[in-house]
Every structure is written in structure tokens, then in C-alpha cells.
Chains A and B, each alone.
Chain A
Amino acid sequence: MKRDRPDKGLDKSRRDFCKTILLGTVSLAVPGSILAATEKKGLSDWYGTKYKPAEHLYAMGIKVDRCIGCGRCVDACKRENNVPDYPFYFRTWIERYIETEDGQTIVDSPNGGKDGFKAPASDKKVFKTFFVPKICNQCEKPPCVQVCPVGATYRTEDGVVLVDSQYCIGCRYCIQACPYGMRYIHPTKRVADKCTFCYHRTVKGLLPACVEVCPTQARIFGDLKSKASPVNQFMRFNKIFVLKPGLNTEPKVYYADIDLEVR
């Protein structure tokens, strides 16, 4: 796989990490601090220097009334992030809500909405119906980060919850802790996996893949620390809501025109 910005330092640090394990177990006499010092230099030639995470705070706005359920976001997400193409692994998905006249709420998300939706099977009289995109809420107080025993998932200064796929032990506590069902075990990497707001895109000024391909601008992405940001305008002009506010996770994905039935 071709790397966009090949960073020799990182591969080196990984090799050194393995080497350290070997050395550590073979001989306890090696001073670890010497190894560490060589690695800290040259972590990256741009991240943390040219790009400063502390200067940004990413968020997403979702206009429920605009979503047409085409599923292009789900498709793009799976491609951009190598999410396995099975109906059990999603970093983002679309739910369809059908509220019937007799007061029932029927929800479905066939293959996460990736292939679009077929006409509903139920012949009940429809009171109202709509689509709702779901994505990791990038909580300010993420329960998944709280419970990770080793520090393999964390919230960066720019407000994105990431997974360290080389460090995750796969205990799956984070999966249990996420109230929104956003995490899964990647079937080949065998580590926890989740939406990163396409971190590799956003730090370079690109939009997350789902936002890029959304044909109706139902998804709005931006930097809360920038005044001229689409997401700030979205917050200003809409009455907004977050999912499961009672759990005090403080999501960074904001919904406009959302329905009570959405959980």
C-alpha cells in the first residue's frame, strides 16, 4: 500500500518497539531511556508542527430533513477507510424510521443503507417517515476512551476519538461502553475500529468521505474553532439536538430537525 506521506521514523519506531521487547526480556541492563530519546525526535515532519491539533475542534452537523437515504456516505466510508464489506461492520450508517398511524415505530437499516432502501415491507398506514444518518459522535466525554485499559483509544486535541491499532489488545470494553453502537472488532486487523471523522483527510483540509459525497448536504462538517465554518453556521441557524444527551457524553455530532423516536 502506498503511503501518502511516507514516514520512515514511524516504521523505525515500530521496529524499535519490537526490538525493545526482545532486549527488555533478554537483558535488563539496556538503558531504555537511550532508545526512547532517539524515537521522540522526528515523530512527524508536519503533524504537531505545521498542523497543530490544539487549534482545531471538529464537529459535524446533520440535517435530518435533507437525507434521502441514498447510502453514498456508507459506501464512501467503507471505501475510504477499508471497512470490511459485510453487513456487520459500519463506521457510519443510515436508519429509516417509519412511524405508523397506530403509533408503532419501525426502524430498519438493511446493510447499513449502503445499497439504498427498498420500499418498506409493512403495509401499515404511514404517519411519517424519514432517514437518519448515524456516525460516531466523537464525544467530548467519550465512555470508550474512559474504559480502555491500556490507552489504545484516545481523544486528540482537535476533538476526534481515534484507535491505536498497533496497541489495542482487543478486550472489547470500549464496544460495551459506547452507547451508540459505533465500534466493532475489525475482522482482519482484530482490533477495535471506528469512525475517525476521516482524520487523515480532515487534518489535510479535506472533508470526511461521507460529507464529501453526500449529494444533499445533509452532512455538514467543520471546525468549531473557526468562526467562518459551515458547522458554526449550522449551529447558529438550526435548533440542534444530540443523541442520548442524558448520558452526558457531550457529542460533537449535532442533529437538526430530529425526531423524538431517534435513539
Chain B
Amino acid sequence: MWKRIPEQIRHVVVPIVALVVIYLVVRHLLIPSSFGLWGHYRAASAVQNAELPLKYAGAEACADCHGEIASTKKEGYHRGVACETCHGAAYTHTQDQEKQKPQINRARSLCLLCHEYQSSRPTGFPQVVSDSHNPLKQCIACHQPHDPKPPHPPKGCDACHATIQRTIAVSSHGNLACSMCHEVPKNHKLSPRGNPAKLPQLRETCGKCHAQDSSASKEIPRVDMASHGGKYLCWECHYPHMPGAR
């Protein structure tokens, strides 16, 4: 039977079959043992990934020993800020409290990473312009970082609404007090999220100055409150902090 196959085929097939067999054997030997156990990968690799060493311990670990600070912090504005956000990775400290100390960075630059004024930051987030905000003092001289109440409530609104303050300053509404349009609850400055300021809910708020029968200065543009704007509140079309309509 074998001899009846043409000589060429016989001489070609033997080395090819040999190569295929060698390949199959070598492949069988070399495939990592845990490969394919849980999918098309080495199962051992998932375990290796799961067992990498920790650097950050997590706030719960800190509270185990530093309960007092944790409970102070829980009441203050920094309650959402993890210990390691400011003190750095501290897993080694949880393993060896004496030799491994977490960092205590008292520099202004650390606080300013969050609190330096940036127009891109969401409004309401407390910000300062460091060049004019007690430039020579450390932040912690006035603000206790675990309970960073300001020594006195901010005088203006710009401490948290700096972008709006900057916008309105160059607009024709620059001289108006915020409270002229916004109703601000008494405790807004102490607990802003619990006592949010309100947006004007009536067209008459703007009408005080812009209605045709208003007694305000003649230079202020007037509109016919009855026909202008329809069902919309004024600020739904005009941005009062930078009024664009002329």
C-alpha cells in the first residue's frame, strides 16, 4: 500500500508529519499548567494580580488606632477626604507603627492642590487666590485640617463662587450684591449643602430694575414684561452674571 504512493509524496509526507508531531508534543509540554483553567489565560496570573502588595491602607485601617481624629474629621468639611489623601500611602505604617511614619506635609502647596482658585473647578468648592490670601502664613495656622472650619465665616460669596465673582465683576451687574437676586438662607455659609441658596423663581426679580415702570436708573435697559420672554424666567435666556443681550 505505502509503496504504491508516488515516491515524492512519501518523501515529503514523512518530514511534514514528523514536524507536526514534534510541534504537538512540544506544545503540550510548554503550555503553562494553569492556562485555560478559567478562560484563555493563565489562572495563576489572576492570582498574581490579586496578590500584589498594597501601598494605601484605606481610611478604615487608620480609624482603628486614630479614632479620635477620625471622629473629629467625620463632623467636619473634610469628612469625605481620606487620611491618605494628605498623609500619603500608609500601608507600611499599619504594619510597623514605629519605624514607618506617614508623611505630614504642612506646606501651603498641598492644600492649594485642591483649594487654589481654578476656573474649571465646580462652583461652590471653597477656593482662595493664594497670592492674596495670607501669602506668608501656613494654611494650618488658621485652618485645622481635620476640621477645617474657617476662623470666621467668609465675608463675601467669592470664597466658594470665585468663578462667578470674576465673571460678574466685569459685567454690568458687577455692583449688585448677590443677595439682590439670590435668596440666601442664614446658615448657607456655615453649611452650604444643607442650606442651598436659591435662584430667582419669578420674573419680577429682574423686573425690579428692567420693567418699564421701574423706578431704577434710566440707563438700565427696559423690556415690556408682559410681552417679552413668554413663559421663560429671565435667567433661562439671559445669563445674569454676564448678561449678553443688548
Residues of A at the B interface (CB closer than 8 Å) are: 1-5, 7, 10, 13, 16-17, 20-21, 23-25, 28, 30, 32, 35-37, 39-40, 43-44, 47-48, 51, 53, 65-72, 76, 79-81, 96-98, 116-117, 119-120, 126, 129-131, 151-157, 162-167, 196, 199-201, 203-204, 206-207, 209, 212-217
B84 to A: closest C-beta gap in Å: 6
B196 to A: closest C-beta gap in Å: 14
- Interfacial chain A residues near B89, Cβ < 8 Å: 76, 79-80, 209
Known: A3-B53, A40-B34, A213-B56. A68 touches B122 (CB 8 A): yes
B61 to A: closest C-beta gap in Å: 9
Would you call A70 and B114 a contact (CB within 8 A)? yes
Would you call A201 and B56 a contact (CB within 8 A)? yes
| Residue B176 CB within 8 A of the other chain | no
Type the 1/0 row for B15-50, where 1 means its CB is closer than 8 Å to any CB of A: 000000010011011111111011111111111111
- Interfacial chain A residues near B121, Cβ < 8 Å: 68-69, 131
- Interfacial chain A residues near B118, Cβ < 8 Å: 68-69, 117, 119
Compute how far the CA of A213 lies from the CA of B37 in the bound complex, rounded to whole angstroms: 36
Would you call A209 and B51 a contact (CB within 8 A)? no
Known pairs A17-B33, A23-B29; list 16 more (Cβ under 8 Å).
A2-B53, A24-B29, A30-B29, A39-B33, A47-B51, A66-B122, A76-B89, A116-B112, A116-B113, A120-B119, A130-B120, A131-B120, A156-B46, A157-B38, A215-B80, A216-B125
Would you call A43 and B59 a contact (CB within 8 A)? no
A228 to B: closest C-beta gap in Å: 17
Known: A47-B50, A156-B46. A212 touches B116 (CB 8 A): no
Would you call A213 and B84 a contact (CB within 8 A)? yes
Would you call A167 and B56 a contact (CB within 8 A)? no
Residues of B at the A interface (CB closer than 8 Å) are: 22, 25-26, 28-35, 37-56, 58-59, 78, 80-82, 84-85, 88-89, 112-114, 116, 118-122, 125
Would you call B47 and A7 a contact (CB within 8 A)? yes
Most chain-B CB neighbours within 10 Å: which of A30, A51, A162? Answer: A162
Would you call B41 and A201 a contact (CB within 8 A)? no
A77 to B: closest C-beta gap in Å: 10
Partner of A76, one of B84, B113, B122: B84
| A-B pairs, 7 with minimum CB distance | A164-B45, A24-B29, A154-B41, A39-B33, A36-B33, A200-B52, A129-B120
Partner of A199, one of B42, B49, B85, B120: B49
A127 to B: closest C-beta gap in Å: 10
Sample (29) of A-B pairs whose CB atoms are under 8 Å apart: A4-B51, A13-B32, A17-B32, A20-B29, A28-B26, A32-B30, A43-B34, A44-B51, A47-B46, A47-B47, A47-B51, A51-B50, A53-B38, A66-B122, A67-B122, A79-B88, A98-B120, A120-B119, A129-B120, A154-B41, A154-B45, A165-B48, A167-B42, A200-B52, A203-B50, A206-B54, A212-B82, A213-B56, A215-B78
A84 to B: closest C-beta gap in Å: 15
- Interfacial chain A residues near B54, Cβ < 8 Å: 4, 80, 200-201, 204, 206
Compute how far the CA of A215 lies from the CA of B125 in the bound complex, rounded to whole angstroms: 11
Compute how far the CA of A122 lies from the CA of B26 in the bound complex, rounded to whole angstroms: 62
